[in-house]
Amino acid sequence: MSSVRQSLVENKVASSLIELRDVVKTYSTAAGDFTALKGVNMKIGAGEFVGIVGKSGAGKSTLLNMITGVDHLSEGEVIIHTNGSPVSVHKKKEDEIALWRGHTMGVVFQSFQLLPMLTLVENITLPMDLCGNFSPKQSRQRALELLRLVEIEEHAEKLPALISGGQQQRVAIARALANDPPIIIADEPTGSLDSVTADHIFELFARLVADQGKTIVMVTHDESLSTRFTRALQIADGELVTPKLATNSKSDHEADLNPKKSWWRRK
């Protein structure tokens, strides 16, 4: 390969922040093995706001769990290119991965996963205290600011069980932002919110991408959000579905030129 071509290839690879190579996930259950991801290849660039859509059970949460490394993969590799050095997520040692994840990505789980014995503000200071980016005083101050950002500051000293599901979801979003990570991985982060609050959160995410250069991967069932992502990917039965593009349609061509116009609006 010529050196020019080699450098072009390397640049292309360097520009992807998140890379999945032939990722397979098979769950072993009493009823037998079930393959939830069937060899997913994906590249997400820095500064993208990617929407993941697909039916219930398609493998969306499983895909996010592979990106974050909260669950083991069966085959393949996930590589995160932050700070100029690629990290193979699933090759990291158990005792290193939590700290690495804390610095690298904020995760909003579909089921929130707030710690029930900690107050809301403590749920948010905990990841900051683990990573050590902020002093304890700063981390409390920052936690309160983040709770204000998601409009739930007045409940800061309550336990999660004493607030609603939508409020818990907002705390989970605030926690994901705690360490100011370059990547946010969010599993239906607006799924429990009313439409006005959902829009507020979506705008917040869009601003994090546009103003701060964050990279966000977000699962959603809300098709009305589709045009607002920089790119939307669909997953069906554990596989990424390639958009079927008609070749002669003017609108398809326009959509190709405008990545904000997602493929399911092109028909």
Q: Read off the tokens for 47.
A: 């500064």
Q: Give the pairing type, strands 105-108 and 85-88.
A: unpaired
Residue 62 in contact with ligand ATP, rule: CB under 6 A: yes
**Contact pick of 59, 69, 181, 182 for ligand ATP (by CB under 6 A):** 59
Nearer to ligand ATP, 61 or 168 (CB): 61
Query: C-beta of 219: minimal distance to ligand ATP in Å?
Result: 7
Give the span between the Cα atoms of 35 and 29, in whole angstroms.
Answer: 11
CA angle 230, 235, 241 (to 5 degrees): 85
Nearer to ligand ATP, 71 or 145 (CB): 71
Interface region with ligand ATP, contact rule CB under 6 A, candidates 7-15, 27-35, 91-99, 147-155: 27-35
**Contact pick of 26, 27, 46, 166 for ligand ATP (by CB under 6 A):** 27
Query: C-beta of 110: minimal distance to Mg ion in Å?
Result: 5
Residue 51 in contact with ligand ATP, rule: CB under 6 A: no
Contacts of 65 (CB under 8 A, 6+ apart): 25, 71
Query: C-beta of 6: minimal distance to Mg ion in Å?
Result: 40
**Contact pick of 17, 23, 48, 61 for ligand ATP (by CB under 6 A):** 61
Provide the β-strand partners of residue 77: 21
Interface region with ligand ATP, contact rule CB under 6 A, candidates 29-37, 87-95, 159-167, 257-265: 29-37
CA distances from 89 to 67, 71, 124, 218 (A): 8, 11, 24, 19
Contacts of 21 (CB under 8 A, 6+ apart): 41, 76, 77, 78, 79
Interface characters, 121-140, with ligand ATP (x: CB under 6 A): --------------------
Instruction: Tell me how many residues contact ligand ATP (CB under 6 A).
Output: 13
**Cα within 13 Å of Cα(95), Cβ side:** 0
215-219, strands of its sheet edge to edge: 105-108, 183-187, 215-219, 49-53, 231-236, 239-241
Chain contacts with ligand ATP (rule: CB under 6 A)? 27, 29, 34, 36, 54, 56-62, 110
Chain contacts with Mg ion (rule: CB under 5 A)? 60-61, 110
